Amino acid sequence: MRPLPDPVDEAAAATPPLKVARRPAPHDSAAKHVAGAALYIDDVREPAGTLHVVPGYAKAARGKILSVDLAAVRAAPGVVALLTKDDVPGLNDVSPAHSHDEPVLADGVIRFHGQPVFAVVAETREAARRAARLGVIEVAEETPVVTIDEALASGRDDVLPPYQFVRGDVEADLAAAPAVVEGSIRIGGQEHFYLEGQVALATPGEGGEITVLTSTQHPTEVQHLVAQVLGLPAAYVVAEVRRMGGGFGGKESQATQWAALAALAAHVTGRPAKLRLDRDDDMMMTGKRHDFRIDWRAAVEPDGRLTAIAMDQYARCGHSRDLSLGICDRAMFHADNAYFLPVVRIASRRLRTDTVSNTAFRGFGGPQGVVGIERVMDAIAIATGRDPLDVRLANLYGAGRDVTPYGQTVEHNILPELIAELEVTSDYRARVAAIDAFNAGSRILKKGIALTPVKFGISFTLIHLNQAGALVHVYLDGSIHLNHGGTEMGQGLFVKVAQVVAEVFGVALDQVRVTATTTAKVPNTAPTAASSGTDLNGMAAKIAAETIRGRLAAFAAETWGGDPEAVRFEDGHVVAGNERRPFGEVARLANLARVSLSSSGFYATPKIHWDRANATGRPFLYFAYGAACSEVTIDTLTGEMRVDRVDVLHDCGASLNPAIDIGQIEGGFVQGMGWLTAEELVFDKAGRLRTHAPSTYKIPTATDVPADFRVALYEGGGNPEDTIFKSKAVGEPPLMLPVSVFSAITRALASLKPGVVPPLDAPATPEAIRRAVLAMTA
Amino acid sequence: MARKNLQFIRKGRVVEVADVGPTTTLLDHLRLAEGSVGTKEGCNEGDCGACTVALGRVRGGRLAYEPVNACIQLLGMVDGAEVVTVEDLADGGTLHPVQRAMVDLHGSQCGFCTPGFVMSLFTLYQSDRAADRETVCDWIAGNLCRCTGYRPIVEAALASCAGAPADGFAARATEIAARLTALADGADVFVGDATRFFAAPSSLDALCRLLAEHPDATIVAGATDVGLWVTKQLRDLPKIVWLGRVAGLDAIEETETGIRIGATATYDAAAAAVAAIDPDLGTLWRRIGSKQVRVSGTVGGNIANGSPIGDTPPALIALGATLELRRGEMVRRFPLEDFFLAYGRQDRAPGEVVVAIEVPRLGPADLFRCYKISKRFDQDISAVMAAIRLTLDGDRIASACVAFGGMAGVPKRATAAEAVLAGAHLDDPALPRAVRVALAGDFQPLDDMRASAAYRLDVAGSLVEKALIEAAGTPTSATRVFGLREAAVAPAA
């Protein structure tokens, strides 16, 4: 490790060491998970009379609806009610951007295959499933626009206007450059495959009130859109989520429709109603990671340094806007990844296709941007004959080369040191030599290695979302009730925020009870997304807890003497003057003295601003960094591939919980590896998704994870910004670490023909790798 | 006199169920009827493992626990077993060792897949397998986790499943085994009436009589495919005849010429016997479905089902296997390849049942290779499955038997390619090209979500080429990224 100024140590010198935060506490629900005692929505005991809702859809992917014949559905056993657009008392729209392009139930037009046209409400789920298949929907079918190329050729309007970042005259520089490298890469989409599918349970209350248990990352949006659909004030609707069985972005905007349908069924029937999507319906009816095509041309110096680059990003958005604006913007924000692009144009098209609306997925467009520029780095290396790592190092942000294409200065860039450390610990150079020797002597099998960095901007680029609230109560026995606007989807948010609160009060972690996220306790929240959950909610909870602690300190100082500032909260006790009292006793005495033991807390991220019209500002509070070195072997006869070894060094600042953070890094790596190597979404020409179940859509299994998988947290980086205990966000950045796997495959292929960039697209399935082999050896 | 109810052990008590539909699944029974919601539904098709539960049965005189996907296990199939779910593992307030390890090593994140993993690990804990990394990864290949990246789960398995079982289940094993033995009444089971029933005859004769009476019944062995007809296609299957109680139908016997695999022998049970024929078969077997699928699914079912992408038929055809069927008193035996008539059509009459498959051993001059191509190594359906048997005369190929899956509507031999191979020399540099040309005449494969037609045809040629390279003496460490023969170990049992 290098001797660097250590902000953590400086902070530590000023305050006593942390006792609960920065410890590897297990997930708050770990013991319940393993015992089958953690309740998901489908596990909650149903209220008496609960009905079940199943959506029905047309066979067509595009066209006007000519007729909807539901007679057989209505007559089916157990059917209680049918829902169509005409049953919506409020607005038939759940678009997150209020763009009025996401009907709850089709409004006369089929926009994609699987779009819900009606919903069956029945006594049992099985009855509803059987009945839903009996609908006869006649559609004036039109040929759907399915792919990026079809969308470009169609000449139709995009879902959103194009957008670009420009610095300098790229075309002039490219025209004048001695060497221009160019290419195009296609990057497939990705299904979230949260293990718990979309589900909601709506229970009607009195006077039109409704409570929805919803598996969502965004309860506030569910609340407001359910109210909008039912034509109710938001105050009539409560949305609650204790935990999700995985989210990954797939439940940021797209949990809403199912909550709205359950609520609509409850509204129409007056009975509780549950909707849990079948896996196949879930995969057909909900959006995925956007597939991209990225075309690029780069002017390059002989030393591999890039002087100018033009990149065109084409994103397949599906039939509606959903969150595509932010996603495609973030792809542009990460089109540089870790590299200085002196003269640059990054252009983005948001293409409309007659397919399900693509949506948030861990990384939110960033990963596609990163894959694009890392392909450029690999191509430059191949064109110049230099080692890809040297090309990457030559292009990193550095002194005097530190302004992004969107005008934010890259501060506190630790990548040069981080990469240098990983280069040594992964033994990169020696392994490159060994691999070259192996390839020279191996006819069928070829190896490749790559070390790629990640720089990921932390903050919502929609600035107003960078806010959070929390609510903390201390009860008379000293137990603490913690609530905040963040949702738990497995990422360990609840335990991290509980660690923060326990730290503030100087109590043991088990004294803090984390409770279900509900719009009735903390209102008007942002989604738990953009890796921001801990940064935002941890701060809000800390502020709430500190407010109560301040009152207790004042009370203790007044009661037992001394300065309120000198009162200490430690080891479950409050120490004031010469008194040392158990925390619970102090709470009880404070209550008798009429001191409030409850507080909300509110946090808004400082420093950030973004002028989208002029494409300039500081959209990110800071960057999270990491790097990975991956080695692969490919079989050139079949295209099969094996990942032999992975080394990761990742920056979590001063980690709030190293166990949780390593879990995010490993899980993100494997999820990203699946995206880039095995997970293939196949749509047919009629616009139907053919890979709508795990039998055909293959996420990684344990065998796909290399036995030699070395993950370390980067020590000593801290976070120079004032984040929660100097930690850094970790949810999304690791997803881009396995770009190293993709680059390693590229390098293995490149060994077949020096100087030629392998035409490898993602995902690098056996077929894709073999296709590239054939192209290289033709 | 047939027994009119199902009997199984649950939480230490014998449960009797008489009022149940023929295709009610174990998962629906647990979650909806019993209210045990710890077991999750992730995919309802046996691919994600979130619904994994353990079935205890007496095998070879001792109690053995096997993991199954409750979502595609018909309730009747647990007759005579002990059903253990995730709620049953903790002993009072003390977590089971596999649960403890999962907590201590941070093996859960969202937690939804966790009960399934815990149950898979529980069965590994109870088994006598050495819990090395390869065994663990194989054992949990049928459990998908989208959060952790598996590393902590594998470590939890390695930490908790190393030694002999020493939990409450091990302590009660003798008692449970005795109670299961007491349940094994040898009776025919018939739950329902003549129009809707779940039947489980206990002898081959009883089976043949029942099928003669109900030739329209759906014959079920492991239900790893029929289960999906129920859960995904919502097909109404009013008459279910389950083969799992037919005494002796699961026998695996060594014969003079090879092995005879009874129709209801599971993949798992047959694994060691087929691996002894050739290590590539061991690797292939380990890649069929998942542990959960292999302890339920049967070799006979894989054949009778007639799927063009079943993995065992191409290998068994290339080995020259013979199929035995029975209908009433009539027994037929013929080469397996003749069974597959066309897509969705097999040479099996209504009421006729597969009894056994006979697989000859390889001859001294035979060289066998089989390869499976899929997007994912484990628990994936083949895009192309190739099985190649070359009978060598020095470096000359005397004859060749080459069969493919995924290339046609049925598992099919590549007769033109075989003709090219026969008589050729292994080192003939023109041979791979000639084989590719011949294969293009043998097959017109389809484009689908697993692969394009072009890739299928191309990789089929590549696989024969690989076999030729290996036949010429190149070690598989230089030709394969998976399934090295030199390092071959016994397949997962």
Q: What is the ipTM of this complex?
A: 0.97
What residues contact B423, with CB distance under 8 A and at least 6 apart?
B396, B397, B398
- Hey, which residues of A are catalytic here? 732
CB pair distance less than 8 Å for A634 and B44: no
- The alpha carbon of residue B473 is apart from the nearest alpha carbon of chain A, in Å, by 14
CB-nearest to B462 from A29, A638, A660 is: A638
The partner residue sitting opposite A195, judged by closest CB among B113, B152, B459, is: B113
Whether residue A138 is predicted with pLDDT greater than 50 in this model: the reply is yes
* Residue A4: per-residue pLDDT: 39
Burial class of residue B100, CB neighbours in 10 A (0-12, 13-18, 19+): middle
**What's the pLDDT score for residue B225?**
95
d(CA A70, CA A57): 12
SS3 A723: coil
Give the distance from residue B326's alpha carbon to the nearest chain A alpha carbon, in angstroms.
32
Residues of B in contact with A638 (CB under 8 A): 371, 373, 459, 462-463, 466
* Residue A135 confidence (pLDDT) above 60: yes
* Rg from Cα positions in chain A: 27
Mean of per-residue pLDDT scores for chain A: 96
Residue A628 clears pLDDT 80, i.e. is over it: yes
Query: Which residues 6+ apart lie within 8 Å of B82 measured at CB?
Result: B8, B9, B10, B55, B56, B57, B63, B176, B180
- The amino acid that residue A521 corresponds to is K
Does residue A777 sit at the B interface (CB-CB below 8 Å)?
no
Instruction: Say yes or no to pLDDT of A665 above 80.
Output: yes
What are the residues whose beta carbons fall under 8 Å from the beta carbon of A345, sequence distance 6 or more? A164, A165, A166, A167, A170, A309, A310, A311
CB contact under 8 Å between B47 and A24, yes or no, is no
Three-state helix/strand/coil letters over chain B? CCECCEEEEECCEEEEECCCCCCCEHHHHHHHHHCCCCCCCCCCCCCCCCCEEEEEEEECCEEEEEEEEHHHCEHHHHCCCEEECHHHCCECCECCHHHHHHHHCCCCCCCCCHHHHHHHHHHHHHCCCCCCHHHHHHHCCCCCCCCCCCHHHHHHHHHHCCCCCCCHHHHHHHHHHHHHHHHCCCCCEEEECCCCEEEECCCHHHHHHHHHHCCCCEEECCCCCHHHHHHCCCCCCCEEEECCCCCCCCCEEECCCEEEEECCCEHHHHHHHHHCCCHHHHHHHHCCCCHHHHHHCEHHHHHHCCCCCCCHHHHHHHCCCEEEEEECCEEEEEEHHHHEEECCEECCCCCCEEEEEEEECCCCCEEEEEEEECCCCCCCCCCEEEEEEEEEECCEEEEEEEEEECCCCCCEECHHHHHHHCCCECCCCCHHHHHHHHHHHHCCCCCCCCCCHHHHHHHHHHHHHHHHHHHCCCCHHHCCCCCCCCCCCCCCC
| pLDDT score for B175 | 96
> What residue type is assigned to position B243 of the chain?
L
Q: What is the pLDDT of residues A450-461, one digit of tens each?
A: 999 999 999 999
On the question of pLDDT at A11 being above 60, the answer is no
Q: Which residues contact B276 (CB under 8 A, 6 or more apart)?
A: none
Percent of chain A at pLDDT above 90?
97
Assess A169–B contact: CB distance below 8 Å, yes or no.
no
Torsion angle of alpha carbons A116, A120, A126, A132, nearest 10°?
Answer: -50
Q: Which residues contact A454 (CB under 8 A, 6 or more apart)?
A: A337, A338, A370, A624, A625, A626, A627, A628, A733, A734, A736, A737, A739
Query: Using CB atoms, which residue from B144, B469, B482 is nearest to A640?
Result: B482
- Chain A to chain B, count of Cβ pairs less than 8 Å apart? 260
Are the C-beta atoms of residues B48 and B113 closer than 8 Å to each other? yes
Q: Does A659 touch chain B (CB under 8 A)?
A: yes
C-alpha to C-alpha distance for B51 and B44, rounded to whole angstroms = 8
Collect all residues of chain B within an 8 Å Cβ-Cβ radius of residue A444: 466, 469, 478-479
* Percent residues over pLDDT 70 in chain A: 98
Task: Tell how far CA A344 is from the center of its chain.
Answer: 27
**Rounded Cα–Cα distance for residues B484 and B475 (Å):** 8
Q: Check whether B490 has a pLDDT greater than 60.
A: no
Which residues of chain B lie closer than 8 angstroms to A34, CB-CB? 86, 95, 98-99, 102-103, 107-108, 114-115, 118
Q: Which residues of B touch A37 (CB under 8 A)?
A: 38, 87
Residue to substitute from A23, A438, A638, interface B, most B β-carbons within 10 A: A638
Give pLDDT tens digits for A556-595. 999 999 999 999 999 999 999 999 999 999 999 999 999 9
For residue B308, the model assigns a pLDDT of 83
Strands B82-84 and B6-10: parallel
| B324-339 exposure pattern, b = at least 16 Cβ within 10 A, e = fewer | bbbbeeeeeeeebbeb
Dist. CA B219–CA B383, nearest whole Å: 27
Q: pLDDT, tens digit, for every residue of B10-53?
A: 999 999 999 999 999 999 999 999 999 999 999 999 999 999 99
Q: Is the CB of A30 less than 8 angstroms away from the CB of B85?
A: no
pLDDT grade for B487, boundaries at 50, 70 and 90: low
Query: pLDDT tens digits for B380-425?
Result: 999 999 999 999 999 999 999 999 999 999 999 999 999 999 999 9
Give CA–CA dist B297/B223, Å, rounded: 7
Question: How many Å lie between the alpha carbon of A691 and the closest alpha carbon of chain B?
Answer: 7
- Categorize the per-residue pLDDT at A716 as very low, low, confident or very high, splitting at 50, 70 and 90: confident
Interface test with B, best of A73, A195, A362 (most B CBs within 10 A): A195
Mean model confidence pLDDT for chain B? 96
Burial A443-466 (b: 16+ CB within 10 A, else e): ebbbbbbbbbbbbbbbbbbbbebb
Which token pair is B61?
Answer: 């005189």
How many Å separate Cα B426 from the centre of its chain? 34
Residue pair B85/B119 in contact by the 8 Å Cβ criterion:
yes
Instruction: Show Cβ contacts of residue A337 under 8 Å, excluding neighbours closer than 6 positions.
Output: A369, A370, A373, A374, A453, A454, A455, A736
pLDDT of residue A1: 34
Residue B345: count of CB within 10 angstroms of its CB: 11
User: Which pLDDT belongs to residue B489?
Assistant: 45
The pLDDT, as a whole number, for residue A15 is 55
Residue A615: left if φ>0, alpha if ψ -120 to 50, beta else—which one? left
Question: Chain A contacts of B136, Cβ < 8 Å?
Answer: 702
* Of residues A278, A701, A766, nearest to B44 (C-beta): A278
* Cα(B375)–Cα(A767) distance, integer angstroms: 8
DSSP per-residue codes, A305-344: -EEEEEEEEEEEEESS-TTHHHHHHHHHHTSSTTB--SEE
Q: Each residue of B255-299: pLDDT tens digit?
A: 999 999 999 999 999 999 999 999 999 999 999 999 999 999 999
The more confidently predicted of residues A605 and B486 is A605
State whether residue A710 sits within 8 Å of chain B by CB. Answer: no
On whether the CB atoms of residues B157 and B124 are closer than 8 A, the answer is yes
Contact A624, A531 (CB under 8 A): yes
- Please tell me the predicted confidence (pLDDT) of residue A51: 98
B488, pLDDT greater than 70:
no
Does the structure show a pLDDT above 80 at B1?
Answer: no
Partners of B148 on chain A (C-beta within 8 Å) are 663, 666-667, 670
What element of type H or E holds A352?
strand A343-352
Partner residue opposite B378 with nearest CB, options A195, A669, A701: A701
- Taking CA atoms, A478 is separated from A538, A768, B335, in Å, by 21, 60, 77
Spatial separation of the C-alpha atoms in residues A328 and A348, rounded to whole Å: 7
Q: How confident is the model at residue B444 (pLDDT cuts 50, 70, 90)?
A: very high
**pLDDT (tens digit per residue) in A270-310:** 999 999 999 999 999 999 999 999 999 999 999 999 999 99
On the 0-12 / 13-18 / 19+ scale of CB atoms within 10 A, A109 is middle
The answer to whether residue A648 neighbours chain B at the CB level (below 8 Å) is no
* Chain A residues within 8 A of B133 when measuring between CB atoms: 707
Residues 195-254 of chain A with CB under 8 A from chain B are 195-197, 243-248
Nearest-Cα distance to chain B for A210, in Å, is 25
Does pTM top 0.95 for this prediction?
yes
Q: Which two tokens stand for residue A397?
A: 């942000």
In chain A, what residues touch B37 (CB-CB under 8 Å)? 36, 39, 42-43
A460 vs A452: CA distance, rounded Å: 25
Q: For residue A6, is pLDDT > 80?
A: no
Residue B71 pLDDT greater than 50, yes or no: yes
